[in-house]
Each structure stands twice: as structure tokens, then as C-alpha cells.
Amino acid sequence: MGAVIDLETIRGAWQLRCGGEVVGEGAGGLADEEAGRPCTIGTRFQAASVSKQFVAASVLLLEQRGALALTDPVQKWWAKAPQEWSAMTVGHLLQHGAGLPHWSLPGVDVTRDPPTKDEVLELVAGLPLQSRPGERWAYSGPGFLLAATVVEAASGTPYGEFVAENVFAPLGMANTTSCVLPDPGDAAAPHHDGKRMPLVGALTALPGTADVWTTVPDLLRYAAARDEGVLLEPETWVRMSRLRQRIEDAFALEQGARGTGYGYGLLLGTIGSRPSIYHSGDNPGYQSILAWFPSEGCTCCVLSNEGTTAAGDVVTALFEEADLP
């Protein structure tokens, strides 16, 4: 059977590892047409919602250190939380079970004129909950923005600094940043349907949602930490990927990847026909996915600066190119 898509047509970078060995990798297209700079395996991309994994890891790291508990009410860490949120816990935020909305906020277009973190949270606090905390799964970018705010309150450190010092640096993720816009000459520019588009840079300033700029090798260093049980305790990594909320209707952030459940910052489902633990992302002009395939001992990452890329299908194509069953 041929590949789902032709990898030679993809703008971005990708790598598949099995048993710790690289079995497929590549890069294609241009990161910047004006400079004639190609995408390489080391090019930096906006990670979009793959960023949410690092919020979950940060919260769980603080829990390991005794600084907070997932059972803590959100009101303990954010003083402006309304009384209606009294049953909402930090754990609910990480599993998209808090009952908070996504980006359909009155007067807000995050892709055109993103508000500040405080503006978003105050808008959300003024809206009724969509469901009782823990009752059902509902994807919420603002919920992870609030989780990043909990990290700041519990650590006494701005979120971008905390994750850089406590996650990226220990894992050797030297080309990864949070809440910091990269130099334009050091990153891939966004595109849609092959056309250059303006960078929605303000998304980088919203911690915990789509704030991370990174490379394929750096994300796979993080993936290896889960497999090796470092940074977080092995049982903590297991808890992170354990089913917390079922997704009533199969959820796909990317074509070719279907989530049927959610852990803490991780989707549980399939990519192609393969069971996977993953997270994908979709920012204006960027697509991303970082995935584990535990039964096969494989991990895969795809980062693209083309908004129409079906990242899940790129993963399937990599498995087929590597002639893996």
C-alpha cells in the first residue's frame, strides 16, 4: 500500500524513531522564501497546541515537589475565580473537564487580535460554565492558560521561565522556548495554501496554549524522557497518559489523528489505524503533532509551517515509508 501522502510535497520537518533509533526523517519546502532558507530537521516552528503537554508536565512536576495538588480548587491559585467555579480543580483544567469555553469569547478573535492573558481569564470568568466540572470533556485553550497561571502562582515564577528552567533545560531542549518570539531568521514563517501569511505573534504570549517554539529533535528529547521515566517519576508519566475524560465524538485536531479520550495534556486515540498517545496542534500557518506508539516502541514528531498540512497523515506516511506493519 502506498503512502497516504507524498512526503516530498510537505513543507516542514519530521522524524520517526523506533526502539530509540531513527527509522525515518526528512524536511522539505522553504522556511523563508525571501531569504531562500529551506526547512531542515533543526528548523524552529511554532508548536501550537503541542505546547499543552508542557503545562501538564509543569503542574505534575510541582505536585511531585509538594507545591500543589491536582485536587486543589482553582480558586486557591487564582483569586479572581468566581464562586461558580468552587468545584473546579487543577486536574480538571489539565483534562479539559473544567467546563470552560474554548476561544469563542465575546469580542475576541485570537487569530487576529489576541488579548492578554489577564483579559482572556477575566472574560472567561464572566461567562457561565458549559458543564459542571468533571461532567464532560470540552476542549478549552483558556483552561490551559489558567493552568499556566496556576504554575506561576505555585512556583512564584513566570510560566515561560519556569518551563525553560525546569523542563527544557534539564532535557537538553536548547532550541525550545516558551512565551518568547524567535528571531525571524531563526524560525519558519507561516503559510497557508502555499502563501506567506502574517505571524500571529501574540499567541506566543499566551502561556500554556500555543506558546512554544521548538524543533523536531527537541520534541523527541521530551518524548524520550517519558519513555525513560526521567524528569517526572515513571508513575507520574503513566498518570499523565491515563484516561481522564472520554471524548463523546471522536475528536481530530488533525486529519488522520482521532482522539477518543484525554489524559493530562495528552489525547488518547489513533493515528491512522495505530493506537497512540499524542497531541496535535493547529495555529494560523502551522501544524504539529508529537505522538507515542507504546505497543510498537515508536515515537514520531511532525512540525510544518503550512496550515493545510495533515500532520497525522504525515505520521502514517512515515510508517509506510519505513515499511513498518
Give the pLDDT of residue 254. Answer: 63
Residue 112 pLDDT exceeds 80: no
Q: What residues does each domain of the chain span?
A: 7-321
Residue 136 in grid coordinates: 464532560
* pLDDT tens digits, 264-319: 999 999 999 999 999 999 999 999 999 999 999 999 999 999 999 999 999 999 99
* pLDDT tens digits, 228-277: 999 999 999 999 999 999 998 777 666 789 999 999 999 999 999 999 99
* pLDDT tens digits, 73-91: 999 999 999 999 999 999 9
Tell me phi and psi for residue 26, to 5 degrees: 180, 175
Under the banding of pLDDT at 50, 70 and 90, the label for residue 1 is very low
Give the pLDDT of residue 3. Answer: 42
Strand ranges in 159-202 using DSSP code E only, listed in sequence order = 177-178, 191-192, 195-196
Strand partners, 26: 14
Tell me phi and psi for residue 167, to 5 degrees: -120, -60
Residues 99, 85: contact at Cβ < 8 Å?
no
Type of residue numbered 52: K
* pLDDT tens digits, 181-217: 998 888 999 999 999 999 988 889 999 999 999 999 9
Least confident residue range of 55-59, 98-102, 202-206: 202-206
Give the C-alpha distances (Å, rounded to integers) separating 134 from 59, 97, 246, 247, 312.
18, 5, 11, 12, 29
Which pairing describes strands 191-192 and 37-38: parallel, antiparallel, or unpaired? unpaired
Element housing 22 (H / E): strand 21-28
Residues 125, 237: contact at Cβ < 8 Å?
no
Fold exhibited by the domain 7-321: Beta-lactamase (3.40.710)
Tell me phi and psi for residue 293, to 5 degrees: -125, 80
Give the pLDDT of residue 240. Answer: 96
Q: What is the mean pLDDT of residues 149-166?
A: 98
Q: What is the mean pLDDT of residues 9-34?
A: 95
Residue 56 pLDDT exceeds 60: yes
Alpha-carbon distance 198 to 183, whole Å?
15
Residue 145 in grid coordinates: 492558560
Give the pLDDT of residue 253. Answer: 62
Give the pLDDT of residue 321. Answer: 92
Q: What residues contact 203, with CB distance under 8 A and at least 6 apart? A: 46, 110, 114, 209, 210, 211, 283
Alpha-carbon distance 15 to 237, whole Å?
22
Residues 185, 230: contact at Cβ < 8 Å?
no
* pLDDT tens digits, 117-132: 899 999 999 999 999 9
Residue 229 in grid coordinates: 521515566
Q: Give the position of cell 527509522.
A: 23
- Model pTM? 0.95
